[in-house]
Structure 1
Amino acid sequence: MHDAEKCLGYTFEYEGKKLSYASDVGCVNNIIKENLKNSDVIVLESNYDYNMLMTGPYHWELKNRVKGRNGHLSNAEASKLIGQVLNEKLKKIYLMHISKDNNTPELAYNSLYQILERENKSHLEIEIINEEGTEIYKI
């Protein structure tokens, strides 16, 4: 859902395992952070690269909507959020909802990897989700 006042994220917990999902959130707040904490798996949008968005073909109104409070998370914002909720349980991070016009899978991956490396967590698995989906992952 685009441009909604309140977007939904999901947290699934079962037998001590936790998977958290957030997309189309626009900005990070304490509720999102709290729900992502202590996750085994996080699925998070990493929608745009700021420089690609600002120099790309979108008109200014759309650029402002994408990067606005009801828009999407940039690579930097998604990576920063992951850095804030890192924990010992976390095993895998899926990055998704990557814009074809304003991002690349490599830019999204590298942005997150830099944060993980800085936090001595570069061993964590990162997977980019595309239209084909992913393999089944058992927590």
Structure 2
Amino acid sequence: MKNVKVSVLASGSTGNTSLIETKHHKILMDAGLSGKKIKELLSQVGVDINEIDLAFLSHDHSDHSKGLGILMRRYPRLNAYANSGTWDYLIKENKIGKLPVEQINTIEPGEEKSFDDLTVRAFATSHDAAQPQYYVFKSAGKKMAFLTDTGYVSKKVIQVIKDCDAYLMEYNYDNQMLRDGPYSWQLKARILSDYGHLSNDQASSVLGEILSKRTKRVYLAHRSQHNNSLELAHQNLVNYLQQHQIDLPDLKIIDTYPDHPTELVSI
């Protein structure tokens, strides 16, 4: 049986998109870069953009959505999924252009949908967008959860995403760097709020509740260019696991980048 494969094509404040590949589907998780750039990133991991048949959108912010409209218009086989609140906002505000109606599909928070060898479950998150949500993807006995752009992780979400084979987890900011950084206090307060983003400390604490012996890969994602560093995010999780005596010798901690993809690998 063909394994589930994943590549984080780009992640950060400037744009986010990932590839999930199963035996029957090639899926984009978010499309927050230009269509041209997404095509280029896919080619770097050996995937033709014409093979992409599903896309799942987390929320309306441009660093997650801005390339989706052009991809839908250019590639008619691409079926896109988001919740009704996100679609309503994108269409009403004309954020990503006119969308082909036949390619618009809904998946609501708490809903689970199946596509041949793939099952996708949506769950609500806490962010200052129209109706933010993220997803757990299941196929061939493997399970991966994506979670960024949330200021708070509820116990309900913990139950939904625990015990996965792989995670993409937001490591947006280091507390001290954010407080000392160039942003206005209003923007800092927004990032620190329950509708903002996860800090390195918060993300590691969440992972401490959901990791299991089953988990083999954690992708550290959505790192702020101004308020974090690759080294701080990575070392935060290493230190947390050591301090809490969480021994997972098979776990790989994988850094992600705003401008180039991680290797396309089986989870």
Q: TM-score per shorter chain, which class?
A: over 0.9
CA shift in 2, pair 1:121/1:5, >3 Å? farther
- Map of 1:133 onto structure 2: 261
The correspondence for 1:121, drawn from 248, 254, 257, is 248
Quick one: percent identity of the two aligned structures? 37
Match of 1:33 among 158, 162, 170: 158
Structure 1 residues 88 and 67 mapped into 2: Cα distance closer, same or farther (>3 Å)? same
Deviation at 1:38, TM superposition (A): 1.3
The alignment's TM-score, normalised by the length of structure 2, stands at: 0.50
Which residue pairs with 1:108 in the alignment?
233
Structure 1 Cα separation of the partners of residues 131 and 189 of structure 2:
18
Give 1:123 shift: 4.5
Structure 2: how far apart are the matches of 1:72 and 1:15?
Answer: 32
Larger Rg: 2
SS in structure 1 of the partner of residue 266 of structure 2: coil
1:116 & 1:122 partners in 2: Cα distance?
11
2:217 and 2:256 map into 1 onto residues whose CA distance is 12
Q: CA separation in 2, counterparts of 1:108 and 1:11?
A: 23
> Within the alignment, does 1:15 sit opposite 2:140 as a pair?
yes
Hey, what's the Cα distance between the residues in 1 that align with 2:173 and 2:130?
20
Which whole-Å CA distance do the structure 1 matches of 2:229 and 2:135 have between them?
Answer: 25
Matched residue type, 2:201: A
**Aligned equivalents of 2:234 and 2:249: distance in 1?**
12
Report how far residue 67 of structure 1 moved: 1.1
Larger relative CO (CA 8 A, sep 6+): 1 or 2? 1
Letter in 2 for 1:63: K
In the TM superposition, residue 36 of structure 1 has moved relative to its aligned partner by 1.9
1:45 and 1:73 in contact (8 A); partners too? yes
Looking at secondary structure, tell me which structure has more strand per residue: 2
Question: Aligned partners of 1:30 and 1:22: how far apart in 2?
Answer: 14
* Cα deviations by residue, 1:67-112 (Å, 9 ceiling, x for unpaired): 1111100000000000011111100000110001000010000111
| Distance in 2 (alpha carbons) for counterparts of 1:17 and 1:122 | 19
**Gapped regions of structure 1 (runs ≥ 5):** none
Instruction: Note the 1:13-92 alignment, pairs <5 A.
Output: 13-92=138-217
CA distance in 2 between counterparts of 1:55 and 1:107 reads 15
TM-score by length of 1: 0.93
Closer/same/farther in 2, CA of residues 102 and 19 from structure 1, 3 Å limit? same
Is 1:99 equivalent to 2:224 in the alignment? Answer: yes
